[in-house]
Amino acid sequence: MTEVEGVVGQEDRPRSGPGSHRHGLPRTRFALRRLRRRRRLMLEGLAAILCLAALAVYLGVERHDSPREEHARVPVAPPGRVGLPNEADDTVVNPGLRPRQRPPSPSPSPSTPSPSPTPAPPPIVAVTRAEVPATVDLTAAGPTDWVHWGLTGADRTVRKRGGSGEIRDEGGRGRRESFSNNPEAYAWRDGNPVASTGGTMTGVYTCHRGSGFNLAVAADGRQRTVRLYAGLWMARGRLDVRVSGGGPVTTLRMEDPHTALTAEFTVRFRAPRGEKLLLNWTVEESLGDCGNVSLQAVALR
């Protein structure tokens, strides 16, 4: 049994002679070629699979199957276009929506200058002189206001009852004296403190050069008429009329070197409210002993 097994084992063992090498070499090379080809095909297939996987990942990232939040991007207006927001705008854009195009800003309209206030008309002063009527009715001549001097004393007056009080005696240089021999008479029916009189010839006077009376009448922006009843005795009198706010001075002179002379000075004026018409009746030159100017009444309408 031992010898038989040894013979069989020798039969099955591959031969190692020169002939066996010649027949086995071509088979080995062919197998290597097939193996290398299979490896190359496997590597190429693997590379193709990797490329497809990378492409799928790339496409999946770019498609955004579900909406995602992202910060708003504000388009920058290209040169030459208007109405689009620029980088300085704080525009908020909803995801997936394009920012709305802003309407062009309206060009600013030229500002209309506010009308300048209308300047007040310049003051108007016109003075005329006339003879005094034999009897002056102060109630009729002064429906707005009137004042009479001399009836109750040198330093007292009678005024219109319920008058406006716009006639003011602002004093003057010289000592005042009353008299009762005026050439004309003055009457009224609405006085205070003397209610009425049929005609009084009283008045006041002041002597010597530079002495006189300073009177004022309020302005209200409308044309007003003032009547001044005054006179002189042996003197040259000077009447200066002006508006307190400025402007030219209107001057009238009256003279009598021998006796008394009276006049009705009518002043028509217009000045802004708050200003006053100023009347200064003074002795410009004394032409005798105690040459003087006199004052009887003022009426306003």
Total residues belonging to the chain: 301
- First vs last Cα of the chain: how many Å apart? 176
- Taking CA atoms, 135 is separated from 30, 169, 273, in Å, by 164, 23, 33
Cα distance between residue 165 and residue 9, in whole Å? 165
- Taking CA atoms, 72 is separated from 49, 94, 96, 178, 286, in Å, by 38, 7, 10, 100, 101
Q: What angle do CA 49, 52, 55 make, to 5 degrees?
A: 150
Q: Are the CB atoms for 292 and 211 separated by under 8 Å?
A: yes
Cα distance between residue 218 and residue 221, in whole Å? 10
**Burial class, 75, CB count within 10 angstroms (exposed 0-12 / middle 13-18 / buried 19+):** middle
Q: 18: cis peptide before it, omega within 30°? A: no
DSSP designation for 122: P
Q: Residues with Cβ < 8 Å from 133, sequence gap 6 or more?
A: 184, 264
Cα distance between residue 254 and residue 176, in whole Å? 20
Tens of pLDDT, residue by residue, the chain (301 residues):
434 344 334 444 444 444 444 444 556 777 777 788 888 888 887 877 887 777 766 666 554 444 444 444 544 444 444 444 444 444 444 555 455 555 566 565 666 666 666 666 678 899 999 999 999 999 999 999 999 999 999 999 999 999 999 999 999 999 999 999 999 999 999 999 999 999 999 999 999 999 999 999 999 999 999 999 999 999 999 999 999 988 899 999 999 999 999 999 999 999 999 999 999 999 999 998 999 999 999 999 9
Cα dihedral value 169, 170, 174, 179, nearest 10: 0
Question: For the chain, what is the mean pLDDT?
Answer: 80
DSSP designation for 54: H
pLDDT digit string (tens) for 90-140?
444 455 545 555 556 656 566 666 666 666 667 889 999 999 999 999 999
